[in-house]
Amino acid sequence: MIVATAITRDTTMTDTAHRDGNVSAPGFPPLLRLSLNSTLALTGPVLVALPCLLAALLGLNTYAPYGADAAFGIAVGAAAVVAMAQTLILAARPPLVEQLFGGLDRMYRVHKWLGISAMVLMILHQQIEPDFERLVRETSLGELGEEAGELAFNALLALVAVSWFRRLPFIGLEIPYQLWRFSHRFMGALFAIVVFHQFFVDVPAGVDPTFMLVLNSFGIAGVVAWIFTELLAPHLRRRDFTVSQISQTGDTTTLMLTPKGRAMRWRPGQFAFVRAPEAGLSEPHPFTIASAPRPDGSLTFSIRALGGWTRSLPATLRTGTRVQVEGPYGRFDFRKGGARQIWLAGGIGITPFLAWAESLTEAERRDIHLVHCVRTQDEAIGLETLRAAAARNPSFSFEVVVTARDGRLTAERLIGAVPFAIRQADLWFCGPTGLKDGILKGLKAQGQTPRRVRFEQFEFA
């Protein structure tokens, strides 16, 4: 989950969470479902779809004189190139572009589906590969470009397939994250070979150069984005912190980090990527920041042990250990909600709400009720922060539901606990999808569907 809330799912991609999204169909890769309340809901997906469509239409129009098969083969190949270029651009995590998608989690989902779309288009291009041998004057560079393109396309197909099927359905087999991430980094290099192919492959004389200009521009942009991601971003975006405090509550590790040099600025509810190369934890994992901004720039992460990376934290990190933080990212912000709000957290999903609660001031006029569901009392973290927020602001209240003692939270119990009508409130959720789905289904049956539902997701990929 991203969630500095930890989300950890380092068994697959990272410890991340989705943000402000909706649920996907079970059994399939989580397909982006957009909040109708967001003015940016369709902006990002439309902006990445249009260039793919433009490239396909230009390819069809440019090569129409050479037959329908040739035109279609070129069109799908061009759309594949543009889609792959955009996956690399989105992988660079450009902050301005993130805003167009309403958050990094949404942007990564579009990134994933762009890659899947590119794979399908590559297969079609390979099956309907245009044959211009009798229409072009072949050159040695053109032949090299054709062979390179063939090799790169096949390799890219393999890597995209690995990304898509990293967790195999039904049997539960999963490619280790470290191996997946290592192989994933080669996509940019293979794409650069594809760009070489499109630059130098022999084409019929008299072809309108507009098509190749568009295609080459996206190709170069994709390669530049990959170079930036691999070589420049790690040095420009990461800030150095040191571990000033480390504590353990059950299977949750809480870290307080103090900045070395310039502090990071963030809003409560945002997340950041954390790595600790000194401790042998060099892979960046995303976690929600579990604290509000403080004058000294320190920040807190509460990370539940859900995978190898997160389980190793108590044994590998010590006070004074240097860590690197990249961020902030995300747009999970309760201040964009209405006057009445319900915050519902499942397990480690409490972390963004801890940051929100810490940020509440006496002047806050929203009526807010927080419900934190945990299996055992030991899993309840941040109670001091919640008690302080409740003492500071009478409009904020909270309760902890311990399922081993109190039973599972139901919609009926939630309706009875909240001091206002749920159908007149916004519901903010972070935690397991099953909890959210069950509560929303029950609320609908009771005629208490919230005005809006915003939630954090526990995966990016």
Any idea where the domains of the chain sit in the sequence?
40-235, 237-329, 334-455
Q: Are 35 and 21 in contact (CB under 8 A)?
A: yes
Q: d(Cα 215, Cα 314) in Å, to the nearest integer?
A: 49
If one compares 180 and 298, the residue with the highest pLDDT of the two is: 298
Q: Are 101 and 41 in contact (CB under 8 A)?
A: no
Q: pTM value? A: 0.76
**What CATH number should be reported for the domain whose range is 237-329?**
2.40.30.10
330-353: pLDDT as tens digits = 888 999 899 999 999 999 999 999
Q: Are 139 and 245 in contact (CB under 8 A)?
A: no
334-455 CATH fold: Rossmann fold (3.40.50)
43-79: pLDDT as tens digits = 888 899 999 999 999 999 988 888 888 889 889 989 9
Average pLDDT over residues 351-376: 93
Q: d(Cα 287, Cα 14) in Å, to the nearest integer?
A: 9
Does position 449 have pLDDT exceeding 90, yes or no?
Answer: yes
Per-residue model confidence (pLDDT) at position 259:
95
Q: Which of 39-43, 73-77, 231-235, 421-425 has the lowest mean pLDDT?
A: 39-43
Does position 108 have pLDDT exceeding 80, yes or no?
Answer: yes
Does position 366 have pLDDT exceeding 90, yes or no?
Answer: yes
If one compares 112 and 9, the residue with the highest pLDDT of the two is: 112
Average pLDDT over residues 196-223: 82
Tally helices (H) and strands (E) across the chain: 16, 11
372-407: pLDDT as tens digits = 999 999 889 999 999 999 999 999 999 999 999 989
Per-residue model confidence (pLDDT) at position 6:
32
> What is the chain's Cα-based Rg?
25
